[in-house]
Amino acid sequence: MPLPLVAVVGRPNVGKSTFVNRIAQANEAIVHEMRGVTRDRSYHEADWNGVEFKLVDTGGIEMGDDDAFQGSIRAQAIAGANEADVVVFVVDGKTGINADDEEVARILRKTRKPVFLAVNKMDTPNRTDELWEFYQLGLGDPWPVSATHGHGTGDLLDAVVDELRKADLAGGVEEDGGINVAIIGRPNAGKSSLTNRLTANERSIVSDVAGTTRDAIDTRVERDGRRYTIVDTAGLRRKSQIDQDVEYYGFVRAMRAIDRADVALLVIDSTLGLTDQDQRVAGFAAERGCAMVVVLNKWDLVDGPEAKAEIRERIADRLTFVGYAPVIAISALTGKKVERVWDAIDAAYANFSQTIPTNKLNTWLGEIRETGHTVSSGKAVLRMKYVTQTSTCPPRFTFFANRPDLVTDNFERFLENRLRARFDLTGTPIQMKFKKKD
């Protein structure tokens, strides 16, 4: 199971980023934030009272112009309500409620997910008499907080984490759709064609798409006794939208699909190469921690070995941050090599969900200690003592060291490369944590 998601939503300037940074910062000593290629939507890991979760700061997804802007506040709220386990809705205690807040509240009231209303910028504690206005949002008791000073954030987090614990205890009721595969990529890359190929020869059921917020088509597939849910983000096309909206919604759709994916298939039109959007979407998938397979589609249109080699090289150059993802050239049109996509999904998922035995990891670490480079600062020398895998989907490794503060990005990359050289981690991102042990 991926970590539970806590979405932080609210209009610009209410203090979402400040709030998220405060919570994420409290853990900075032990959590090394994953390097992201984009700041549009940031995922932060947090740990409160021993409960680990991911915070999604949806704050950056707004676009410039007014219409899209309105849409995006709605989209954020909907995305939050759909994908997160708990939603924290932040409003500004200084300026009070406005129409956008009411719109978000209206959407959130309809969800069955727990929603916490955080009234931010309450810099003076105990001014609870100022809170009455926020009851009218219909989201229960408001939580006064000051993201800059920290007042109230601990109480709010206690409540959020209690809610996550309850959800955990109630777990297992959700129907198991097997391996969740999201098909992402720009319009016309061939996502629908690939989905059709993947689902055509298998026993499949297209789930009903009732609900106003459902915007991808899920297909359940059973293959060789394994179950998959294929999520095609090309899914429903809304006819009446202007171009910018289509692109914008395509993007939001991809993010949502990634939020619940185990494996993301990034479909690229080989004749056009990689777009910035492809890179951003790949970046989200990496930050979110889902496995990835890159599919070079329309390979039938690429002529000759030189052209093929050049395309592969160019793509690899621009996707170095997901260098673990296998790249498979196919033709969804003719069906050529599509079978390999299945193999890649299975392999990526196997690696994503694996548990590497502690003794093997420590044998490896022993060798690193003998041959690896040393990290030091003044007289202090970093000594790695012990490693164990503390989570799966994606695999997370916790290293115990005398001085975790000495771990540099460079050293992390070195460790990751060595881990990947030893163990099969193709297709999956990994996470590393460093804790102190004397």
Asked whether residue 246 is marked as a ligand-binding residue, the answer is: no
Cα distances (angstroms) measured from residue 223 to each of 45, 226, 234, 393: 35, 5, 23, 21
Between vectors from CA 207 to CA 53 and to CA 5, what angle results, nearest 5°? 5
Q: Which of residues 9-48 bind ligand GDP (CB under 6 A)?
A: 10, 12-18
- Could you give the string, one character per residue 46-65, with x where binding to ligand GDP holds by CB under 6 A and - elsewhere? -------------x------
- DSSP letter (8 states) at residue 406: G
CA distances to 205, 211, 217, 226, 256 from 208, in Å: 9, 9, 8, 21, 18
Q: Which stretch binds ligand GDP (CB under 6 A): 7-15, 81-89, 153-161, 399-407?
A: 7-15
- Establish whether 232 is an annotated binding residue: yes
For residue 310 the two structure tokens come to: 């050049």
Comparing CB distances to ligand GDP, the nearer of 16 and 44 is 16
Residue 13 in marked binding region = yes
Cis peptide upstream of residue 394 (ω within 30 degrees of 0)? yes
* 57, 8 Cβ separation under 8 angstroms: yes
Does 1 appear as a known binding residue? no
**Cβ-closest position to ligand GDP:** 15
User: Was 126 annotated as part of a binding site?
Assistant: no
Query: Residues 393, 1: contact at Cβ < 8 Å?
Result: yes
DSSP 207: P
Q: How far is the CB of 217 from ligand GDP (least distance, A)?
A: 11
Give least dist CB 434 to ligand GDP, A: 28
- Find the helix or strand (DSSP H, E) in which 401 lies: strand 396-401
Residue 76 or residue 389: which is nearer to ligand GDP going by CB? 76
> And the tokens for 393?
């989907």
**Alpha-carbon distance 102 to 136, whole Å?**
9
Torsion angle, alpha carbons of 289, 76, 167, 20, to 10: 70
- The answer to whether 59 is a known ligand-binding residue is yes
Residue closer to ligand GDP, measured from CB, 65 or 438: 65
Q: Which tokens sit at 138?
A: 């219909």
Shortest approach of ligand GDP to residue 145 CB, angstroms?
Answer: 7
Neighbour count for residue 326 (Cβ, 10 Å): 16
The backbone torsions φ and ψ at residue 417, rounded to the nearest 5 degrees and listed phi first, read -60, -40
> Binding mask 299-318 vs ligand GDP (x if CB under 6 A, - otherwise)?
-xx-----------------
Q: How many residues bind ligand GDP (CB under 6 A)?
A: 31
Residue range at the interface with ligand GDP (CB under 6 A); choices 131-139, 173-181, 189-197, 413-421: 189-197
Cα separation, 14 vs 4, whole angstroms: 24
Binding residue (CB under 6 A) for ligand GDP from 193, 199, 389, 431: 193
Q: Which of residues 81-120 bind ligand GDP (CB under 6 A)?
A: 120
Known binder of ligand: residue 185? yes
Out of 42, 82, 146, 219, which residue is the one contacting ligand GDP (CB under 6 A)? Answer: 146
What CA–CA distance (Å, rounded) separates 288 from 258? 7
Q: Is 201 labeled as ligand-binding?
A: no
User: Is residue 183 a known part of a binding site?
Assistant: no
Bind-site residues: 10-17, 57-61, 120-123, 185-192, 232-236, 297-300
Which stretches of the chain bind ligand GDP, using CB under 6 A? 10, 12-18, 59, 120-121, 123, 146-148, 185, 187-193, 234, 297-298, 300-301, 331-333
Bind-site residues for GTP: 10-17, 57-61, 120-123, 185-192, 232-236, 297-300
